[in-house]
Amino acid sequence: MKIAVDAMGGDHAPAEIIKGSIRAANKFTEITIILVGSREKIMECIPGTGLPPNMEIVEAGEMIEMDEHPAAAVRNKKDSSIVVGTRLVHEGKAGAIVGAGSTGAQMAAALFGLGRIKGISRPGIATIIPTLHRGKLLVDVGANPDAKPENLLQFAMMASIYSELVLGIEKPRVALLNIGSEEGKGNELVKEAYELLKKSSLNFVGNIEGRDIPAGNADVIVCDAFVGNIVLKTMEGLASSFAKLLKEKLTANALRKAGALLVKPGLKEFAQDLDYSQYGGAPLLGVNGTSIICHGSSDETAIFHAIRVAKECIERGIIEKIAMEVEKFGQINHDKT
Amino acid sequence: MKIAVDAMGGDHAPAEIIKGSIRAANKFTEITIILVGSREKIMECIPGTGLPPNMEIVEAGEMIEMDEHPAAAVRNKKDSSIVVGTRLVHEGKAGAIVGAGSTGAQMAAALFGLGRIKGISRPGIATIIPTLHRGKLLVDVGANPDAKPENLLQFAMMASIYSELVLGIEKPRVALLNIGSEEGKGNELVKEAYELLKKSSLNFVGNIEGRDIPAGNADVIVCDAFVGNIVLKTMEGLASSFAKLLKEKLTANALRKAGALLVKPGLKEFAQDLDYSQYGGAPLLGVNGTSIICHGSSDETAIFHAIRVAKECIERGIIEKIAMEVEKFGQINHDKT
């Protein structure tokens, strides 16, 4: 099994990307990791001991910057690391691509390079968010707003399969993110999506409100990308603001500093429980190949886990299962109507 | 000046509502507080010393439950506390109504009982959210999803006035909540709203993302009620989950418990900084009268501050200023097109 990694994408690329890749290569000796990017820049980050035997480099001279228009950049920069890496997947030379660069570009590269799974009208990004009861999936957090009810249904179906096969949750509870728990609440989009989800064969548990997300009351939380993106970033922003404020308060005087020293292991555990990096990347669901999207700020640990997630997606045949289910699913929904 | 308070609405009604009202009556001796609700139930909560001289009771035999359909309940229960209290404002017998019951019912009561300010197409609720740099306004967090771009513009205008007059912020920075900071990002609604805001006379600073909310980078954050409601509740849910997890981690063993004791004042300050209740209620902007909507879980402190906010709204003539601005504003925008 080979996994391609975009060595050039991300706030801490290429150093942290390469560190994470080396860690994964050493841990999962049965896989080969292909670093995609400028060979010269990659070699500068390789330790004196050299690359592990199960790592390769594929040259890609260009890279897509964060502020470029994703679709245009993907079309114009055919030699960019994310386009080349995605091409490896399309050509069967790699089983998955992992990237931490521009999310839009990675999505565009996958759409153009891999295409959609038959029957899927729009791919979605499912990200894992930390809650009081393990990490849960929030889908869609992508860059395509103005979703249709059918899109939300398909996001739910795909994320449910992912939750079951990769996260090991039996009969994942699927909930619709809404402004009230009762049926009939919300905007036009979610009202129609509610009806579709209710009729589906998914384990749909109804609406949940924002305050239920961190409580972990659902395994798959479905929403439009506009809402999902804002919720995700609000949670990240709040976590970082809390951390900043807490640190300020706990080090305001000598007494508190002494106390902070005693509770330090607790604070560390607290931070670890809320740490995004342990969950690895977010799968781009619905494209015809495995593409794992990492946070721009990904460090060694995040990349390591993203590669682990990519490996599990391949091993457990996520793409095939989605393709199979979307066919069966269409059939079921067709029967019901 | 008289301020009506719905004594029956809220999770901790009537006890906490009455406590908060008495505290406000004792502090602001120049105003009279009218408790609206069941005289019998109110009297059970009045301490032996009796009501302060500047407090009155107005009987209202019914109350609207949280699960009732707001508009229908307001129409059918003409003797409910929130309807009676709102009527007092309409009849000029009170300058404002403060309530912590069903938000939808308070909004419906205001719409039916007070009507909209001329030129305002839809009222919005502006709530204060704690950030690293004071509390900022998030608007709309109401119950009416599917807003139009014009609604967002008016929310921005009204919240900007409120921010200036009640929160004392000069030239409030108005931002549009979006999934990217660049112009042209987002769904159809925000793209069109962006254009309107850019053309307006407001101090529009462009798009902000979810992660910028807690950082306090804007004074007024504008969004559709669907997004606003979800963001607000996600923030509340996250704060409460963080508190729970932190407590668990800091009391896991004897050593940590000792440390926790030393940092306790710091933790208390931390909690206070994030406490919603200090900010009082959220103004329902755009109706022709002052209606302050409190969180369902409001305690004595929250009610006290909500009454303070109501008093400031009246003193500073928010309604009149909005009416004046909406006329001028329409004029300015008309000139520009």
> Which B residues in the span 98-137 are in contact with A, Cβ-Cβ below 8 Å?
131-132
Question: Of B132, B250, B265, which has the smallest distance from its Cβ to A245's Cβ?
Answer: B132
Question: Of B145, B212, B232, which has the smallest distance from its Cβ to A237's Cβ?
Answer: B212
Q: For A171-174, which contacts have Cβ atoms below 8 Å and span 24 or more sequence positions?
A: A171/A203, A172/A137, A172/A203, A172/A219, A172/A220, A173/A203, A173/A205, A173/A217, A173/A218, A173/A219, A173/A220, A174/A202, A174/A203, A174/A204, A174/A205, A174/A218, A174/A219, A174/A220, A174/A222
Question: Of B131, B177, B250, which has the smallest distance from its Cβ to A230's Cβ?
Answer: B177
DSSP SS3 for A2? strand
B146 touches chain A (CB under 8 A): yes
Q: Hey, what are B258's tokens?
A: 């000792």
A182 located within any domain: yes
Residue at which a domain ends, from A226, A255, A279: A279
| Largest separation between any pair of C-alpha atoms in chain B | 70
Residue with tokens 């609720």: B125
A71 located within any domain: yes
Q: What residues of chain B lie within 8 A of the CB of A136, using their CB?
A: none
Across the beta sheet with A290-293, the strand order is: A55-59, A32-37, A2-6, A96-99, A290-293, A282-285, A124-130, A135-139, A220-222, A174-177, A204-208
The C-alpha atoms of residue B165 and residue A72 are separated, in whole angstroms, by 46
Q: Domain containing B253: what range?
A: 121-278
Q: Hey, what are B312's tokens?
A: 């400031």
pLDDT by position in tens, chain B (length 337): 999 999 999 999 999 999 999 999 999 999 999 999 999 999 999 988 889 999 999 999 999 998 899 999 999 999 999 999 999 999 999 999 999 999 999 999 999 999 999 999 999 999 999 888 888 999 999 878 899 999 999 999 999 999 999 999 999 999 999 998 888 889 999 999 999 999 999 999 999 999 999 888 899 999 999 999 999 999 989 888 888 888 999 999 999 999 999 999 999 888 888 777 778 889 999 999 999 999 998 999 999 999 999 999 999 999 999 999 988 866 555 444 4
Q: Which of B69, B102, B151, B211 should one mutate to test binding to chain A, selecting the residue with the greatest count of A CBs within 10 A?
A: B211
Indicate the length of chain A as a whole number: 337
Summarised one tens digit per residue, pLDDT across range A69-112 is 999 999 999 999 999 999 999 999 999 999 999 999 999 999 99
The C-alpha atoms of residue A103 and residue A235 are separated, in whole angstroms, by 18
Question: Of A180, A211, A227, which has the smallest distance from its Cβ to B236's Cβ?
Answer: A211
Inter-residue contact B42 to B18 (CB < 8 Å): yes
B210 touches chain A (CB under 8 A): yes
Q: Are residues A147 and A61 in the same domain?
A: no
- Res A333 pLDDT > 70: no
Q: Find, in chain B, the residue whose alpha carbon is nearest to that of A146.
A: B187
Give which of A248, A244, A266 is closest to A257, Cα–Cα. Answer: A248
CA distance A138 to chain B (A): 13
Summarised one tens digit per residue, pLDDT across range A293-328 is 999 989 999 999 999 999 999 999 999 999 999 888
> Which A residues in the span 272-291 are in contact with B, Cβ-Cβ below 8 Å?
273-274
Summarised one tens digit per residue, pLDDT across range B177-232 is 999 888 888 999 999 999 999 999 999 999 999 999 988 889 999 999 999 999 99
Q: What residues of chain B lie within 8 A of the CB of A235, using their CB?
A: 210, 234, 238
B133 located within any domain: yes
Helix H or strand E segment including B5:
strand B2-6
Q: Are residues A82 and A156 in the same domain?
A: no
A334 located within any domain: no
CA distance A127 to chain B (A): 15
Q: Are residues A126 and A269 in the same domain?
A: yes
Q: Are residues B97 and B131 in the same domain?
A: no
ipTM value: 0.89
A328 located within any domain: no
Alpha-carbon separation of residue A64 from A75, B21, B317 (angstroms): 11, 60, 53
Give which of B69, B77, B85, B65 is closest to B3, Cα–Cα. Answer: B85
CA distance A37 to chain B (A): 27
CA distance A139 to chain B (A): 15
Alpha-carbon separation of residue A209 from A180, A199, A206, A246 (angstroms): 6, 21, 10, 27
Give the sign of the dihedral formed by CA A79, CA A81, CA A87, CA A91: positive
A182 touches chain B (CB under 8 A): yes
B329 located within any domain: no
DSSP states along B149-200? HHHHHHHHHHHHHHHHHTS--SSPPEEEE-SSSSTT-S-HHHHHHHHHHHHS
Which CATH number does the domain housing residue B53 bear?
A: 3.40.718.10
Q: Are residues A290 and A258 in the same domain?
A: no
Summarised one tens digit per residue, pLDDT across range A122-180 is 999 999 998 888 889 999 998 788 999 999 999 999 999 999 999 999 999 999 999 98
CA distance A276 to chain B (A): 15
Inter-residue contact B86 to B52 (CB < 8 Å): no
CA distance B180 to chain A (A): 9
Q: Are residues A48 and A193 in the same domain?
A: no
B335 located within any domain: no
> What is the total count of domains within chain A?
2
The C-alpha atoms of residue B106 and residue B36 are separated, in whole angstroms, by 13
B71 touches chain A (CB under 8 A): no
Q: Hey, what are A16's tokens?
A: 């942290």
Q: What residues of chain B lie within 8 A of the CB of A237, using their CB?
A: 210-215
CA distance A327 to chain B (A): 30
Alpha-carbon separation of residue B66 from B8, B10, B13, B44, B140 (angstroms): 12, 9, 13, 23, 20
Q: Hey, what are B32's tokens?
A: 């009279």
Q: How far is CA B38 from the centre of its chain?
A: 25
The C-alpha atoms of residue B59 and residue A235 are separated, in whole angstroms, by 44
Q: Are residues B150 and B274 in the same domain?
A: yes
Q: Does the distance separating the beta carbons of A212 and B245 come in below 8 Å?
A: no
Q: Are residues B209 and B247 in the same domain?
A: yes
Q: Are residues A274 and A134 in the same domain?
A: yes
B254 touches chain A (CB under 8 A): no
Q: Find, in chain B, the residue whose alpha carbon is nearest to that of A209.
A: B230
Q: Find, in chain A, the residue whose alpha carbon is nearest to that of B271.
A: A246
Cβ neighbors of A148 (< 8 A, separation 6 or more) are A121, A189
Q: Are residues A110 and A218 in the same domain?
A: no
Q: Does the distance separating the beta carbons of A230 and B227 come in below 8 Å?
A: yes
Inter-residue contact B2 to B94 (CB < 8 Å): yes
A247 located within any domain: yes
Q: What is the pLDDT of residue A308?
A: 96
Q: Are residues A162 and A206 in the same domain?
A: yes
Q: Are residues B115 and B128 in the same domain?
A: no
B27 touches chain A (CB under 8 A): no
The C-alpha atoms of residue B244 and residue A215 are separated, in whole angstroms, by 10
Q: Does the distance separating the beta carbons of B234 and A214 come in below 8 Å?
A: yes
